[in-house]
Amino acid sequence: MRVEDIGLRIIDDRPYLLRKACHGDPMRSFWFGGRPLPLCARCTTIYLSIPVGIALGLILAFIAKPSMFVVTMFFVLLVSPGVLDGLTQYWFKRRSNNLLRAYTGFLYGTGIGLGTVYIPFGVLGLL
């Protein structure tokens, strides 16, 4: 697969799993050492922030113990900016910048990590 970037052809040499996890568009990626990172800015921060969300979920589950409603609202608030940014880009063909994509990706990943830990515990009644 090849990606067009500023008139240059860049061969997609990412490992198979990374090709399935992200589009890897160089225009939407951070660059390091003159080469784009294999994941876009949003996916990079999503995957880096999931452990933050897992830690937050464990802290909430076993120390703070807020109600399931509060955690669910917190989850929705964290995930919403990433969903809105992605959907408005798709629907309105809007261009986002990498800083905004990274910020919304960080919030989204934190929310996913939180939801992955806390919500199943709450649904199963283990909290």
Q: Any residues with CB less than 8 A from the CB of 30 and at least 6 apart, and which?
A: 36, 37, 41, 44, 98, 102
What the block records as the tokens of 61 is: 């589950």
Instruction: Give the rounded percent of residues in the chain with a pLDDT score beyond 70.
Output: 80
Q: 28, 100 in Cβ contact below 8 A?
A: no
For residues 41 and 97, the answer to whether their CB atoms sit within 8 Å is no
Statement: residue 5 has pLDDT above 60: no
Categorize the per-residue pLDDT at 118 as very low, low, confident or very high, splitting at 50, 70 and 90: confident
**Can you spell out the DSSP letters for 60-95?**
IIIII---HHHHHHHHHHHHHHHHHHHHHHHHH---
Query: pLDDT tens-digit profile of 27-48?
Result: 777 777 887 777 888 888 999 9
